[in-house]
Chain A
Amino acid sequence: MRGLRLGLLLSLLAAAPAAAERSAVILATTTSTQDSGLLDVLVPLFEKKGGYTVKTIAVGTGQSLALGDRGEADVVLVHAPTLEREYLAKGTLVNRRLVMHNDFVLVGPPDDPAGIKGGKAAGAFGKIAERGSRFVSRGDNSGTHSKERALWKAAGIAPKGGWYVESGQGMGATLTIASEKGAYTLTDRATYLAFKKRIRLAILLEGDTPLLNIYHVMEVNPARHPKVNAAAGKAFADFMVSPEAQAVIRTFGVEKYGEPLFFPDAGKPEPGSEG
């Protein structure tokens, strides 16, 4: 009996998968690319090409950039142009390339108490603050949060007060909170579409240029962090802008939502306005 138990324990130990293979590439990325399911399609495609396995760490743009900055990731896929440029300037992340975009939408209670419907982004944020309508912010240094801060800044407002709620959580949780509280919030379209059925929030503002949500891929600079798997990071970045991946991005989500969730942009000029 004792021998059996010991044997069981040992077999469990032996079965615990061994340390990482050298060919693993660590991808730090925003939650939206994972939550939308896009990476579940793209990553296996990349792995099938041989050579590399991908460890996707979906943690939000702020943390992804920080992990890349420390050399704890090999490649990052993020959506906060202002933040991205800071790391480019610092030199820890290199070779920033445009991958795709979709857009942010301003959602809120269907009866729209602040009357923002159909206007421009800056005006809408102004009205929400003026009326003190409740607004739920991600408050987590994510790409969406970074965009939201840029939009407040553009509207000339420093949001503060009882009406401004910081959730500190992911987009899905934040949408649920906004719905329960009858509040406004800024969301990427993909997550909104995924949650639409379960929340009482309507799209009140969309299509304004500042609401573009732009994704870039960046490699971690091996000159700064010698331990980085630079070849693997570059291979993944190259793959993301390859015609094959771009074709997948073009049609992803059409089947489920009747519209694409992302628009491929590789090789195109940088879209006009950024957060």
Chain B
Amino acid sequence: MELIWEGIKQSLGLLLTGDPEVLGITALSLQVSGVATGLSLLVGIPLGTLMALARFPGRALVVSLVNTGMGLPPVVVGLFVSILLWRSGPLGVLELLYTPTAMVIAQFVIAAPIVTGLTLAAVQQIPSQFRLQMLALGASRVQLLRVLLREARLPMLAAVMAGFGGVISEVGASMMVGGNIRGQTRVLTTATVLETGKGNFDLAIALSLLLLAITFLVNWALTWIQQRRR
């Protein structure tokens, strides 16, 4: 227990003194996971909406695949993205391995199915009579889509939170494709693993608390947006 208390004190100290290394690590965590979540929204929301509204053969299979993708193990994603980005791999010429860009790619692969799946569920829960009514009232396709997305915006914010929460907290993929390089690809989760390995448990606890605080703040802001328009 004393150790946890030490960690709390140390994390406050790190924040208050503005330790440049810890601030850099925190900023990179936010940047990588923020960009990955942003990209997964750009892809996941249209894709999820399309899958919710369209009827095509094999749809059940595709939906199952997306739902499975929502639980993709980060280490598995890390391993495959690593192999793709290896010098000897198909994307080796890009020289992206062990860069923040590689981490964004891996986290995008983790977050995109989460956003897609939850968007799909959010749009699908709108009763189909509602759609028919809109069309009967003479709404164009674009108008219909806008209304549907507005109706689904609350559960879709949950999709944003789940996607961001999934990637900011994952360690397996970031460790593998980023390499946990000091000053380059070290993020809060990989730094926590490193400090635990070094036996610096108090610093590891401090980093964990920082991660929890950030996740809380982001979710709190999103929840505020979500609930304010009720």
Which of B61-69, B85-93, B138-146 is near enough to bind chain A? B85-93
Q: Which 7 A-B pairs have the closest CB atoms?
A: A194-B199, A195-B199, A227-B87, A57-B179, A172-B197, A20-B95, A9-B38
B38 touches A12 (CB 8 A): yes
With contacts A194-B198, A227-B88 known, what are 9 further pairs, Cβ within 8 A?
A: A13-B35, A16-B35, A19-B96, A20-B97, A26-B98, A40-B182, A72-B97, A198-B199, A198-B201
B197 touches A225 (CB 8 A): no
Does B101 sit at the interface, judged by CB under 8 A?
A: yes
B31 touches A12 (CB 8 A): yes
Separation of A195 and B180 alpha carbons in the complex (Å): 22
Separation of A140 and B147 alpha carbons in the complex (Å): 55
Residues of A within 8 A of B180 (CB): 58
Minimal beta-carbon separation of B157 from chain A (angstroms): 13
A56 touches B179 (CB 8 A): yes
B196 touches A16 (CB 8 A): no
Residues of B within 8 A of A72 (CB): 86-88, 97
Residues of B within 8 A of A194 (CB): 198-199
Q: Which residue of B lies closest to A17 (CB)?
A: B100
Taken residue by residue from 146 to 177, chain B's Cβ proximity to chain A (1 for < 8 Å, 0 otherwise) reads as: 00000000000000000000000000000000
Does A35 sit at the interface, judged by CB under 8 A?
A: yes
B35 touches A12 (CB 8 A): yes
Q: Which residue of B lies closest to A172 (CB)?
A: B197
Minimal beta-carbon separation of A41 from chain B (angstroms): 12
Does B99 sit at the interface, judged by CB under 8 A?
A: yes
Residue tally, chain B, CB below 8 Å to A: 29
Separation of A72 and B182 alpha carbons in the complex (Å): 19
Minimal beta-carbon separation of A151 from chain B (angstroms): 23
What are 5 of the A-B contact pairs (CB < 8 Å)? A15-B31, A20-B95, A191-B199, A227-B87, A227-B88
Does B32 sit at the interface, judged by CB under 8 A?
A: yes
B98 touches A57 (CB 8 A): yes
Once A16-B35, A172-B197 are accepted as A-B contacts, the answer to whether A227 and B92 lie under 8 Å apart by CB is yes
The count of A-to-B residue pairs whose CB atoms sit within 8 angstroms is 80
Separation of A216 and B194 alpha carbons in the complex (Å): 23
Separation of A9 and B198 alpha carbons in the complex (Å): 36
Separation of A191 and B199 alpha carbons in the complex (Å): 8
Does A31 sit at the interface, judged by CB under 8 A?
A: yes
| CB within 8 Å of A: which B9-51 residues | 31-32, 34-35, 38
Separation of A17 and B184 alpha carbons in the complex (Å): 9
Residues of A within 8 A of B179 (CB): 55-57
B87 touches A71 (CB 8 A): yes
Q: Which residue of A lies closest to B200 (CB)?
A: A194
Q: Which residue of B lies closest to A194 (CB)?
A: B199
Taken residue by residue from 181 to 218, chain B's Cβ proximity to chain A (1 for < 8 Å, 0 otherwise) reads as: 11010000000001011110100000000000000000
Which of A20, A56, A228 is in CB contact (< 8 Å) with B182? Answer: A56
Residues of B within 8 A of A57 (CB): 98, 179, 181
Q: Which residue of B lies closest to A10 (CB)?
A: B38
Separation of A178 and B64 alpha carbons in the complex (Å): 43
B99 touches A20 (CB 8 A): yes
Residues of A within 8 A of B86 (CB): 70, 72
A19 touches B35 (CB 8 A): no
B197 touches A16 (CB 8 A): no
Minimal beta-carbon separation of B7 from chain A (angstroms): 14
Residues of B within 8 A of A173 (CB): 196-197
Separation of A37 and B194 alpha carbons in the complex (Å): 11
Separation of A228 and B198 alpha carbons in the complex (Å): 31
Minimal beta-carbon separation of B88 from chain A (angstroms): 6
Minimal beta-carbon separation of B20 from chain A (angstroms): 14
Residues of B within 8 A of A26 (CB): 98
Taken residue by residue from 189 to 227, chain A's Cβ proximity to chain B (1 for < 8 Å, 0 otherwise) reads as: 001001100100000000000000000000000000101
Q: Which residue of B lies closest to A59 (CB)?
A: B179
Which of B31, B95, B99, B181 is in CB contact (< 8 Å) with A56? Answer: B181
Q: Which residue of B lies closest to A37 (CB)?
A: B198
Does A170 sit at the interface, judged by CB under 8 A?
A: yes
Does A18 sit at the interface, judged by CB under 8 A?
A: yes
Once A71-B87, A72-B86 are accepted as A-B contacts, the answer to whether A19 and B95 lie under 8 Å apart by CB is yes
| CB within 8 Å of B: which A37-67 residues | 37, 40, 43, 55-58
Residues of A within 8 A of B88 (CB): 70-72, 225, 227
